Homo-oligomer: A and B are copies of this chain.
């Protein structure tokens, strides 16, 4: 029962496709509720209700609340990581341009697409311990996407940091905090925020004035 594997919409049979579609629906609803209420105020009844299902039906797809939430985080995490990886591996442009692109992808993901994603990185104390382990790999991949570009920048002399890890952590902390303070009124606001925030954060890596 591989419900926790990231879902592949291309199942062979009709039945599997139906099931996968349903799993996707459930993951989407779960992501929504998580985003609105947070983990502890997310209960299975609410998720089920949004899907016009009963709580018990969710257990046909996921064996527990924790597995459901984990699957949800892994699913969204994978989506984000894929975008980041694709962006990171594009070696055109300066390190600054590439890092800016990464920051924009990340901000777009956690602010607009999947507001709850930030939680994945913030790792609140009162989430079940299991999540930390289950999403370790995701966080590692995520980190690597950024480190790849940053190390390229350092190697080429375009970036200068006192301590790489510290700088990267500060970058992540600052990015993941954005959903807390940013509220868009118009669509244009997102773009402006991405621009300004990326410019600000780039300074963590660009050499300072003497």
Contact = CB atoms under 8 A, between A and B. Distances in A.
Contact of A200 (B38, B124, B166, B178): B166
A30 to B, nearest CB: 14
Contact of A122 (B37, B177, B206): B177
Contacts of A208: 203, 206-209
Q: How large is the interface on A (under 10, 10 to 19, 20 to 34, 35 or more residues)?
A: 35 or more
Nearest to A126: B38
Interface stretch (A79-87, A145-153, A168-176): A168-176
Contacts of A207: 208-209
Contacts of A166: 193, 196-197, 200
A13 interface: no
A144 B172 CA distance: 24
Interface of A: 35-42, 116, 119, 121-127, 161-163, 166-167, 169-178, 180-181, 193, 196-197, 199-201, 203-204, 206-210
Nearest 4 pairs of A and B residues by beta carbon: A38-B126, A173-B177, A38-B125, A170-B174
